[in-house]
Amino acid sequence: MLLNVVEAGSGEHTVVLLHGMMGSAESWHRVVPALTERGFRVLALDLPGHGLSPRDPQLTIESAADAVVETLACLLEPPSATPGPPLIAAMGHSFGATVLAAAAPRLEPALAVYVDAALTLQGGQDRAALVSQYEHDRRARLSPAELRRARPFYSVADAEAEARAAERFDAATAASVSCGSDGHWSAAPGSIVVRADPSAWVTDEDARRFEHEGVRVRSIPGAAHTVWYSHFDVFTAALPELFGSR
């Protein structure tokens, strides 16, 4: 499966972005220019069942990771004598972070950043019930005005991006991920976890586990799950490896 990719910038080094559940590549609309301004080439992917990428009602985290790896192989290793820009960093949010953790051993980014994700998955969900729940949640996100009322930290552009993502979201693909076995993925030592504080997704216990495994944890007090929507400047400041002066 080849995924839809939004590409920006033409720098020597590449940053890959993977959005969260019910989002899209457009969810990074504020992050992308902040990276290209610092000289990066940016590849933001629509994950399976999201945005303009194919659907797969049998999707797993592993098959989503396969799709990411296959898609990036076409972009980072072009069939020519001139090698493509090296993959300097990959950043994933929530569901996208878990997919990144599954793909990272093959992608081998110089830096992996996981945003508000514990990299675990509770499986065994009832498929029909979960599809129904996701479809209900999707319909609730179709109005930009309603999104801004529910999430006052959203800008107009944020709400419009997330409403378009909801229009294109496939509930059956997303639900399939949670209908198999439980899953746990590791972050390599030296990786970074950025989490909201408090976080419903990365608990204090999770943070201690990450730190014990050599993962750097950076907490942003009061942030929403989509950390850069609510605390953009604090989020970028927490990642000087990507957003600092170059």
Cα–Cα distance between 117 and 65 in angstroms, integer? 16
pLDDT at 82: 54
pLDDT at 246: 64
pLDDT at 79: 47
pLDDT at 76: 85
Cα–Cα distance between 217 and 231 in angstroms, integer? 17
DSSP conformation class of 14: E
Determine how many CB atoms are found less than 10 A away from the CB of residue 170.
Answer: 21
- Residues in CB range of 205: below 8 A, 6 or more apart: none
Mean pLDDT, 10 residues at a time, the chain of 246 residues: 96 94 98 97 98 97 97 77 71 98 96 97 95 97 97 97 98 96 96 97 97 98 98 98 87
pLDDT in tens, 173-216: 999 999 999 999 999 999 999 999 999 999 999 999 999 999 99
The token pair at 24 is 């899209």
Q: Is the dihedral of CA 21, 103, 228, 37 positive or negative?
A: negative
pLDDT at 84: 55
pLDDT at 227: 98
